[in-house]
Amino acid sequence: MTSARPVFGTLRSVETIQPSKRMRARIEEVARKTARLIGFLAPEEGHTLSALEHVRLLRSNRPLRMTAVLYDPSIVIVCQGRKRGFLGDEVYLYDAFNYLVLSLPLPFFSETEATIDEPLLAISLRLDGAVLADLLLAIERGGAELRAQPRGMLSTPMDESLADATHRLVTALMHPLEAQVMGPSILREIYFRVLLGPHGGALRTALNHQGGFGRIASALLRIQADFASKLSVSDLAREVHLSVPAFHAHFKEVTHKSPLQYLKAVRLHQARLLMIRDGVTAAHAAAQVGYAGSSQFGREFKRFFGRSPLEEVRCMKQPLTLSPRKELTRYEVAL
């Protein structure tokens, strides 16, 4: 189950702070309890909706090598198993001791370590712009400085407070009323702890959308909203008040892709989801994401994913399936 394997140069693991032995044991214990609950809430492989709009549960029962993915701005907390993200020449580890944060919608490659006996179990928290804006203002008023360089992707060490908050959130998801009443406040707490975490300064700077990084962030949001339309690099550059050469340079620095490569990646990822989750044909998906003809779509799809649309759907249907929220039995809730 391999996508078209990218050619990397020398890869550099993003350094993370190692927790103390006591803290590591505590985080591992909480992660194990949280993973057990996620197992109930997400019995099927793939992505599962939860009682909260911004929260999804992830499950993989098998290892996946070099899979092309596109993540929304989000926080991904793995409670069992391990994933690695590959962006540019850097490798980002996310497991029980490190969580992944994306401040921008980014396509990259990932690897998953999982088995049927010990599946990968994780929770994805989509960033809520309104809540984050309120928190950023409060943190700024509290005197926190913005000195770190903005980053589109971050791998950050887990701490006990965040592990506990994650467990409380997943526990609330087991009970519809608790999810409705308590869930939003716990989610807000998690955002807050991530914003003040070891790499919180880089995330806060990124979310402030200032300077060249902020202009590219605006362009990415435009592409995400209108990827099926005819978008030109010159128009995108003009909208964010950059010359075309400057736009290219900043864009490549932030995303590790050219603007046209990024647009193509977004279209192909969206087409794959349409075929897997909506059951549409390759020709229909191609038209929906902005391709004029299915022949060009088929060529570019195979070049990007390493498989034809039909083969890719067959191989990735389970990992990318979106399942409805699980209705728990009284017995499962009691557990």
The two tokens of residue 327 are 């209705």
Provide the pLDDT for residue 14. Answer: 65
DSSP 8-state class, residue 2: B
Angle at 155 between CA 209 and CA 313, to 5 degrees: 90
Provide the pLDDT for residue 328. Answer: 75
Task: Using the CB atoms, write b or e for 293-305: b if 16+ within 10 Å.
Answer: ebeebbebbeebb
Provide the pLDDT for residue 19. Answer: 74
CB-based burial of residue 147 (10 Å sphere; 0-12 exposed, 13-18 middle, 19+ buried)? exposed
Give CA–CA dist 79/97, Å, rounded.
8
Provide the pLDDT for residue 1. Answer: 40
pTM of the model: 0.93
**DSSP three-state, residue 334:** helix
| Domain architecture of the chain: domains with CATH | 12-208 (2.60.120), 211-320 (1.10.10.60)
Provide the pLDDT for residue 327. Answer: 81
DSSP 8-state class, residue 19: P
Provide the pLDDT for residue 131. Answer: 98
Provide the pLDDT for residue 16. Answer: 61
If you count DSSP H runs as helices and E runs as strands, how many of each does the chain have, helices first?
A: 14, 12
Provide the pLDDT for residue 237. Answer: 98
Average pLDDT for runs of 10 along the chain of length 335: 52 67 94 97 97 97 96 98 96 97 98 97 98 95 84 96 98 95 98 96 93 96 96 97 97 97 98 98 97 95 97 97 86 61
Give CA–CA dist 319/311, Å, rounded.
14
- Give the side-chain half-sphere CA count within 13 A for 90: 14
Provide the pLDDT for residue 263. Answer: 98
Provide the pLDDT for residue 2. Answer: 43
